[in-house]
Chains A and B, each alone.
Chain A
Amino acid sequence: MRAILKRKTTPVATDRAIEREKLHELDDGHVVSRHLAGDPQAFGTLVDRYQVRLLNFVNRTIGDRERAEDLVQEVFIRVFRHIHRFDQTKKFSTWIYTIASNLAKNELRNRSRNPLVLFQTIKKNWDADHRPLQFEDTTARPDDLYRKRYLKDAVDSCVKELPEHHRAVFVLRELEGRSYQEIAEITGCNLGTVKSRLNRARNTFAHLIGPQLD
């Protein structure tokens, strides 16, 4: 009986896997079209593609991992709700990043009104500071581990110290590799503002990280 069931279910599972593989090979625009045409797996492909990138982008912008996960969920819900309104002549990635950026901005705005949230974030960072070193990489030498850990914390805190507007532009350019035009669309600024913010962000970042690299 089990054998029969196995024989019956395997081809279906394989078909699904093949279908999924095919979806992964398509670009975003085509996956969106497939979702709008009723393909049940298409939206999952978009989630697979963007969940990690968005989580890191939002986390870097707001500096709170758990809240970043909630916001990324909200991003996908909004995309799902309004995908029929997405202009398919434009880049999907720019659209989804714009939604994420707006949600992150709102979060920071709400936080400035409610300092308690900020305190909770600081507390979380304190906990992270006390994580034992042996969980990171047991194969490396302790001094390497310390240096790596120190540098990671240093660059992280330097990015957090950047003003909010500069930070978003800096992360989008240096970590996400977005073009000036895309950054302008995501942040809702003109190209000149993007360039000047990026220059200032790099300047501040260099001054903050410089002494710690020596």
Chain B
Amino acid sequence: MPRMECAEFLDRYTDYRDGVVTTPRDRRRFERHLAHCETCRSYDTAVRRGVLALQGVETLTPSERFRARLDARLRREALTMAGPRISPRIGAAAALLAAVGIALVALQLAHRPAPLVAHALPPVPFPKPVAQAGVPFVTFQDPRAMTAAGNPMPYGSALVEPVSAHH
């Protein structure tokens, strides 16, 4: 088995620290390296002592209000999860009211007078529209009409009658 180098030690340090290195031979390689290499030894010491110091740091405890606040929230949550509760009295009253409503509607339907029947009237002949077959008069505005002398029509309008209208 080749001698362990620092790179391998650092690379597999997590296995060694967490006890994943199970074979005695492998463990010996780690231990031998630690015994000879001061850099890796100080690295290992730093991790161990640092973690010990970290574990020794006082544990936080929840504040006094924490539990009361949580219990209140849990109670509200339980109510929400259970859904809105209707008391049996209110439920019975609502059911009775609904039954009375249905009965009234049924009664109303039973006594409803028959609808009046309207007699059919005789059909009325509708006069057919007659189209006017003449040529229409066309009205337009002639821009020259404003300046033209002797314009019989005021405000620039001219009434032009097509020739075809006289035939």
Contacts and interface: CB of A to CB of B under 8 A. Distances in A.
**Chain B interface, >50% SS class:** helix
A55 B42 contact: no
B147 interface: no
Interface string A171-214: 00111000010000000000000010011001101110110010
A175 B54 contact: yes
B25 interface: no
Interface residues of B, number: 36
Contact of B60 (A55, A76, A81, A202): A55
A37 B63 CA distance: 30
A14 B67 CA distance: 22
| Size category of the binding interface on chain A | 35 or more
Given A151-B53, A195-B14, A198-B14, 4 more contacts: A51-B66, A52-B60, A156-B54, A213-B49
Interface of A: 43-44, 47, 51-52, 55-56, 59, 65, 68-69, 72-73, 76-77, 80-81, 151-152, 154-156, 158-159, 173-175, 180, 195, 198-199, 202-203, 205-207, 209-210, 213
Interface of B: 10-11, 13-15, 17-18, 42-43, 45-47, 49-51, 53-63, 66-67, 69-71, 73-74, 77-78, 81
